[in-house]
Structure 1
């Protein structure tokens, strides 16, 4: 059972000893002025579990490891959570999650698509989370990836509520999930402690999962809905208000001004909505502890984000005193516990072991062969065959599905380097090799675009590169992951991730271009040609894109409003698996080309 840390890591501990090893130093409660007049509420939190229960890398078929020897999985987080409860049996404790639970691993994918929970299976994340004993969880944006039927089935399998105050019915504006839950704790010799937990999700769902929610659900801003529901919780007698928010802290939005609501709004909620004591933060995949001040009350608000995949557990301590018959927070502190110090919880591991074994067999099943090893390691700076392969599969599917006059359109295809560590080995290729190449559950669409729009699209894409002069040599870090300009009304621009660098390729003839990184953004695409002929502004193409792009994800121009000429809701990862299964052999000689290159002043650059 893959539950133990790597031998090079720290000693494995369980129970209360695990808390000390994980970096937890118990803070003494304030000296009691009078018995029953002081207590401490602790909120234990996880976020962005993304289908990870065991400490296992399904793409590599080994125990998970990374450069800093983090461990992952809810089983290990469960050990830390249960140890804290055991150490403080008489203390009020809440256990929360901040979303993105049912997508992200082959384990999650299998029970959404291969043996779907809508057919009677119980989701492994439901099994595991119920054993941990969560009090509530916020909805993440990836909860909507598999459609509302799957999400509702998952919800029905949980012993705790999924909260989403800003996931509202498109017709009525009312929340379609519980906006909050109220918990009451007995305090010896004092009135009950009443705690309200408000759940907020990400407005970007309206873009990222448009096909699943359009016309059915809308997603107002976090600040706007918190302003509505925090006063309601206060009116209902809550002494403490805790928010579980699937929204980062830094005030940025990956979708620019495509929505009127901020993507990473947790700090804004803390600063602008009076009455909140603490926020468990998710979505940004960061380790953070912060205490911004509310601009109305002058009170600090504790914000903690516990990285992702179960690598950390958040501990938020709120010390309270009884004032005029009501509990009031007088001190707040936060810290993060490391999961790589403990063994996985035996009950959680046992509950999902059979499902894990089933998925391991599935992802390791062979479906074809590759004539040579293919790697995505340099896909961020070179036109590599493994990205050409994704573009081929997508373009093939779109071309086969075009009808009428659209069938005569030349077909282009976009692809981004989602995973620099992705590779196909020489020889046998398995399902997990394909899953490692295409790690998102995107579906395929085809849109009609003009030559001018293709150039605009590429110019926007190559914002990804930092502006440099000369021909190098440069490192990858010298060139990649530039910072985008801040959206209107914001002061901080977001770093452009690898998945927002798209290259575009032709199917029946090459689409070729240079990217001149010595030039400013907007003037970098040089020599754009199709089949050796300069692309005309009015020339029409069908372009294969994923649903994330077509819905506005990343803010790329034109594709959101372009006519859709193909949409069969086929998942791209499954199309790749099906292509390899049908053809048997992946041979780069049949599809690889160098259609684009990085240059400076027209001269190729050197990248170490």
Structure 2
């Protein structure tokens, strides 16, 4: 194809499209085959933005930065999107693969402190995403954290559809949310219309992680089976291109047991369901610029990409299409991820959320107590630290008070905590809400169950399996004790019992509980994520003896505020240690 100077490429393409249907004269009077014309479609994808709008770290009260100098936020993503939309030779769609309204103090504030369901205010993530003009968003599991009323209000505030084909209304048996959309897309002036089908799939783990909000109301069906059901329907209803936006990683694994469909099935969907051109996926927080999976039925290559987390990356998928004899064909596809630290923040997005951002910053900087010493979580995954005992003390006190006068009042109360953030610090002196929020970064609520001594040991053995084996005499390098592929929040610790973790011994034989009868019964305070099966820890999925739907982070804030002083002497009781062949790894 020859391009004329001074004439845009899109104009040439449009002229070519207009003439493509007309047969060309050839010598001998025979008609040539219809000419094909090439077009371009770009699909941009975000995922796991988790309440990040500004490039801001609310826990440090400063611009976000990490060791790789990543940036975060929808405002950064919007700048990348606007750059690509300004390109003259492509048409652009923008999708999101879920986990949007939870994850920062900004999101929490408008779900808990000033909930939009009470005030009627527009959620900051609705404000930000409406400025960016998405074409569709898929619901992630964290969309359900604050209950269905808040989720449904947020959906109504969006200027685009929210999709989740596999979330089914238990009462009606029908999809509880919009399953898919078919977008009519113009690829240029005079170009034939392209119909792009977008199917949204949410994560089945929601049935566990947010059971209190969805049980008896929603069920979450298998993502592969759901795609196999809806893709043919979308094709039959005119979709020329089929995209899936899935909140599930590509590993094929699950963090829970076999009672639910696979948590991370995106590659399995590509492999087993014919008729899919590409999958934007999320949930795993991985940067996957481009992956191709061969569909077993058709041999076609399905394009997959995941754009990391928090707005650090934007997926760009580029498709080349041809139109011949009234049919569209995808002739080429590729993808990459773009780093949001290469652009500034979009001023329109910042303006839309500025008042809510400012209000949140003021809130998290309120002083709740004074700490007598600095407390850090940097070593909490391999040492017994006071800052985790602070969590355990608050949980223990709350459950003990709640069970007073009940049949369980005479049982010892144990507590489970985990190191969520290595950077969490209570400074000596003023401790602010942001410091407490930085220690407990999830919106978990507190529950309590009954476990036997044997079940406590089995639970601890499960957590201890994540430590690397360290032979006696081998040098101790703290950074090498933990598998970097295992999240820190899997290194659960108990208060209320004394135990050793012998990391020179085989997995399953590492825990020595001192003075605990295997038949003894304990009340165990635990967060709702673990109690509902998150992480597949043994024995903990059992009936609660306490569940007042109290957020643990707020309990920590209230406890500190009521006392005014955070002093390790009030709560730090060293009760566990790492050992090798019985000898402490870090000395006595």
- TM bucket, shorter chain: over 0.9
- Measured in 2, the distance between the counterparts of 1:138 and 1:429 equals 38
Q: How far, CA to CA, are the matches of 1:315 and 1:205 in structure 2?
A: 28
SS at match of 2:378: coil
The match for 2:428 among 426, 450, 465 is 426
Aligned to 1:181: 181
- Indicate the residue corresponding to 1:113 in structure 2: 112
Residue in 2 that maps onto 1:202:
203
Q: Does the 8 A contact of 1:37 with 1:190 survive in 2? A: no
SS at the partner of 2:67?
Answer: coil
Q: 2:546 aligns with which of 536, 543, 566?
A: 566
Deviation of residue 268 (structure 1)? 0.5
Q: Is the 8 A contact 1:471 1:605 kept in 2?
A: no
1: CA distance, partners of 2:549 / 2:326: 57
Aligned to 1:512: 498
Q: Is the 8 A contact 1:294 1:301 kept in 2?
A: yes
Shift in CA distance, 579/144, structure 1 to aligned 2, threshold 3 Å: same
Q: Retained in 1: the 8 A contact 2:138–2:246?
A: yes
Are residue 446 (structure 1) and residue 448 (structure 2) matched?
A: yes
Match of 1:213 in 2: 214
Kindly provide the CA deviation profile for residues 503-554 of structure 1, in whole angstroms up to 9, marking residues without a partner as x.
1101xxxx1000001111111001x13xxxx111111110000000110000
Please name the residue that 2:37 is paired with. 37
The structural deviation recorded for 1:258 is: 4.1
Residue in 2 that maps onto 1:500? 490
**Deviations for 1:423-482, whole angstroms, at most 9, x for unmatched residues?**
100011100000000000000001011111111111111111112211443223422137
SS at 2:72's partner residue?
Answer: coil
Q: Return the offset for 1:277.
A: 0.4
1:385-435 deviation digits (Å, cap 9, x = unpaired): 000000000111011111421111110000000101101000111000000
Q: Does structure 2 conserve the Cα–Cα contact (< 8 Å) formed by 1:471 and 1:603?
A: no
Tell me the TM-score normalized by structure 1.
0.89
Given candidates 385, 404, 415, the residue that maps to 2:406 is: 404
> Which of residues 494, 508, 511 is equivalent to 1:525?
511
Alignment correspondent of 1:586: 566
Asked if the contact 2:380–2:422 (Cα under 8 Å) also holds between the matched residues in 1, the reply is yes
1: CA distance, partners of 2:474 / 2:302:
47
- Measure, in 2, the Cα distance between the counterparts of 1:202 and 1:228: 17
| Structure 1 segments unaligned to the other structure (5+ residues) | 1-27, 483-494
**Which structure's CA Rg is the greater one?**
2
Q: Equivalent residue for 2:97?
A: 98
> How far apart in 2 are the matches of 1:49 and 1:445?
28
Deviation at 1:497, TM superposition (A): 1.6
Match of 2:23 in 1: none
- Aligned match of 1:80: 80
Q: Partners in 2 of 1:471 and 1:132 — Cα distance?
A: 57
What is the CA–CA distance in structure 2 between the aligned matches of 1:481 and 1:344, rounded to whole Å?
35
* Alignment check: 8 A CA contact 1:471 1:599 kept: no
Q: Give 1:32 deviation, angstroms.
A: 7.2
Report SS of the residue matched to 2:100. Answer: coil
SS at match of 2:146: coil
Q: Whole-Å Cα distance in 1 between the matches of residues 445 and 474 of structure 2? A: 38
Q: Quote how far apart the aligned CAs of 1:574 are.
A: 0.4
- 2:214 and 2:351 map into 1 onto residues whose CA distance is 35
**Could you say which residue in structure 2 is the equivalent of 1:171?**
171
Identify the residue that residue 542 of structure 1 maps to in structure 2.
523
Higher mean Cα deviation, 171-180 or 582-591?
171-180
Deviation at 1:257, TM superposition (A): 2.4
Q: 2:26 aligns to what?
A: none
Distance in 2 (CA, whole Å) between partners of 1:477 and 1:593 is 24
- Secondary structure (helix, strand or coil) at the match of 2:186 reads strand
Q: Deviations over 1:24-78 (max 9, x none)?
A: xxxx99x979757221111011110000000000000010001111111100100
Distance 1:426 1:313 in 2: 39
What is the DSSP-based 3-state SS (H/G/I as helix, E as strand, rest coil) of the residue aligned with 1:174?
Answer: coil
Paired with 1:271 and 1:576, the residues of 2 have a C-alpha distance of 46
Contact in 1 for aligned 2:85/2:91 (Cα 8 Å): no
Distance 2:222 2:479 in 1: 34
CA contact (8 A) 1:390 1:415 kept: yes
Structure 1 residue matching 2:301: 3-state secondary structure = coil
Residue 541 (structure 2) pairs with residue 557 (structure 1): no
- Which segments of 5 or more consecutive residues in structure 2 lack a partner in the other structure? 1-11, 21-35
> How many angstroms does 1:606 deviate by?
4.1
CA distance in structure 2 between the aligned counterparts of 1:360 and 1:471, rounded to whole angstroms: 49
Q: Matches of 2:342 and 2:442 in 1, distance apart?
A: 30
Alpha carbons 1:471, 1:606 under 8 Å: kept: no
Most deviating of 320-329 and 69-78: 320-329
User: How large is the Cα RMSD of the aligned pairs?
Assistant: 1.8
Between the aligned partners of 1:186 and 1:284, the Cα distance in structure 2 is: 33
